[in-house]
Amino acid sequence: MPSPERSPSPLPAFLVYLLTIFLAATLLSPAIHALLHRLYPAPPGRTFRRVLEMSALLLLLPFRKHLGIRSWRDIGFSRPVLRPFLWGCLLGFASGLVCLLPLALHSLAGHQAGIHLDPASLAVWMGRGMLVALSEELLFRGIFFSILLRGLGPFPGLLASALLFCLAHYLRADPAASEGPLTLFSGWDLLSAHLAPILSFAWFDLQGLLLFSVGTALAAAYLVTGSLWLPIGIHALWVALLYGLAAKSDGALLGFWSPLVIAIFGVSLWIGFGWHRRGRVA
């Protein structure tokens, strides 16, 4: 009896997809910045990052079949919507408060480094948190993690996607690197400047550890339901609490506390995924 055909690995296409994203941003960002600078007076580095994000979404269309993405469901937009989203908001609120507990205690003691409760700011950041969560979860969990999940399996794919999530937050350039007149070849300088923090291992610190922990926890949340709505809810509340409460730390207050809380949270979700998977098999 002939063995069933195995679908080809999406990893080679994924690598080409990533390289094409960076190439598109490198070639297009100087021209786009020159065209839109009067309407959108942002520094060239920010324009480069925005073009990078848009390229990742637009280039998905020609690559989607090679990446194994054939429908919205393949990237996590499935039903039900409201219930997992509300559960995500509840989990994000509870775990976020635990992460900020040292800052809250510091604020109660009258110190400047802590949190500041401003209902108006919190309400604004609830909306902004939703936008950030939608865009980042679509890209990092819906697209990147779903591809790595098929190509590497659950645990290696989870770790690889968390590393990508961490590194992406270090794609930033020194403002001085984008000074001076732009030319058609300035995109290569911008690319080099944005990659410099990653190549110099600037991400190998407590902030990088926190971002990696966040990436693993959100990927585990995606695995629990196979839907983006749970991690979107969690992510939105984390952003709203962090920025809406104007959380400020002197660097020593949080230390390993927040990464540890997020890691435990992610492990709990992973265990929940295991029970959920066994329940489906049974």
**pLDDT for the residue numbered 1:** 38
**pLDDT for the residue numbered 39:** 81
**pLDDT for the residue numbered 247:** 66
One-letter identity of residue 95: S
Tens of pLDDT along the chain (282 residues) come to 344 456 789 999 999 999 999 999 999 999 998 888 888 788 888 899 999 999 999 999 999 999 999 998 999 998 899 999 999 999 999 999 999 888 888 777 666 666 777 777 778 888 999 999 999 999 999 999 999 999 999 999 999 999 999 999 999 887 666 566 667 788 899 999 999 999 999 999 999 999 999 999 999 999 988 899 999 999 999 999 888 886 666 666 677 888 999 999 999 988 877 666 555 433
SS3 state of residue 179: coil
Identify the DSSP state of 176.
G
Residue 149: which of 137, 139, 136, 159 has the closest Cα? 159
**pLDDT for the residue numbered 177:** 62
**Within a 10 A sphere around the Cβ of 226, how many other Cβ atoms?**
16
Whether 24 contacts 85, CB under 8 Å: no
Whether 166 contacts 203, CB under 8 Å: yes
**pLDDT for the residue numbered 180:** 60
Phi, psi of 3 (to 5 degrees): -75, 145
**pLDDT for the residue numbered 198:** 96
Query: Which residues, 6+ apart, have CB-to-CB distance to 281 below 8 Å?
Result: none
Place of tokens 């999530």: 165
Cis preceding linkage at 80, omega within 30: yes
**pLDDT for the residue numbered 137:** 97
Whether 172 contacts 163, CB under 8 Å: no
Number of separate helices (H) and strands (E) present in the chain: 12, 0
One-letter identity of residue 245: L
CA distances from 188 to 42, 45, 196, 209 (A): 18, 12, 12, 29
Burial of 148 (0-12, 13-18, 19+ CB in 10 A): buried
Q: Cα 145 vs. chain centroid, distance in angstroms?
A: 10
Place of tokens 């990446």: 67
One-letter identity of residue 249: S
**pLDDT for the residue numbered 174:** 75
